[in-house]
Structure 1
Amino acid sequence: MRDGALDAQINAGIERYIAKQRAAQAAAGARKEQRSAALAKNIRPVSPQRDHIYGNPEAEVSLIEYSDFECPFCKRFHVTAKEVVDSYDGRVNWVYRHFPLAFHNPGAQKQAEASECANALGGNEAFWRYADKIYERTRSNGNGFPLSGLLPLAEELGLDTEEFRVCLETGKFAGRVLEDYNDGTNIGITGTPGNVLRNNRTGRVVVRAGAVPAANLKNALDGLFR
């Protein structure tokens, strides 16, 4: 066999191997996505009485995010999620649920509790203002926003500082944060941001983990309207 023919045969074999590997990876990815979607179907339905909702509470589709205030990817996604939801004119809302990762504690846990204290004292709007400020200012990775800054932030936002201090120091909402975390674990969330997109009328869900780019997020959301 001539060298040229042998080279062509070798190259063809390599290309077939690469194609098989890609097909196997695609199949594995599809199976993983199916397993994730099957678990995510058990997600707790959105409740205006229980959840922190940005946008129209009655929106047809929800972006449900399990998040960690000290996660750098969540910091990036926080901006993306708001921009995307705003672009849907009330057809999509954004639901924030807590998922503080152990290696980001105690910071992530106490920040989550602090945001709940803000909610208790100032309602849903205060929750989102408090959350926005933490994500805006944190350097992430566990020590990005000092715990000593949680009370001054409440004061900056016009909340009752004494009530806030008592709320935070007593761990009043530690159980609430744990409920969100356990909910996430039960539907297969392992990292942050963990995003489940849900059509609230049909119950259909799509899982999109990580700091999904805006275009990819919109494509997934659009698919839930069809």
Structure 2
Amino acid sequence: MTRAARTSNSAEVIAARLRKSIRGGELLPGTRLVQEQLAGELAVSRIPLREALHALAAEGLIEVQPQRGMIVAELSRDDITELFELRLRLEPHLAEEIVRGCRERDVDELQAMADRMREKGADAAGRASLNYQFHRRIYDLSERRLALRFIDQLLHLVEPYSRRWVRSGRDLKRIDDEHQAMVDALRARDAQALRRVITAHVEGARDHVLAAQT
């Protein structure tokens, strides 16, 4: 086996591919994951695939259910509400560290991402990828490694549900305006403004995701 083949067959790479498929909506919540079928579709060996599935189960992206085996995790309304409560406890409180770690080139990079998201409109796939990169880049500036790990997991869990209301096109201007407000707060080095807009942004996302579940 070549080095490239070994790399593509590693549990870490397989987990990344599956994670992307779950976040992207290719593997929908509730989808049953049959190892033999997945191994064939991904052209990978069973042992690293099994390791990858267990890693995703530890992240909460996959569940093991009696009679059904492994499925893509399904979040109830209570789960979604709790998820956003956790985000509200974590994300706004990073504002001071984010501003402290932010440089002018970081602001320019985030501005470019915000502009591209506005151009995407209701293109759920393009917008979702940029949205994740935008928020992850902001929180990276805090250099709070453990908090980032939890936030990353929460963002992965909610993304399949966020895409549903993005496709509807509802309230996207408000979302884009909030992204711009985050960039403006960083450019002004205003931690309080950043904290307020992050809070409003997460609360708005919560309300839209819950509305899309009805």
Q: Under TM normalisation by the shorter chain, which class is it?
A: under 0.3
Q: Which has the higher helix share?
A: 2
Larger Rg: 1
Q: Larger RCO: Structure 1 or Structure 2 (Cα < 8 Å, ≥ 6 residues apart)?
A: 1
TM-score normalised by structure 1 residue count? 0.27
Q: Which has the higher strand share?
A: 1
TM-score normalised by structure 2 residue count? 0.28
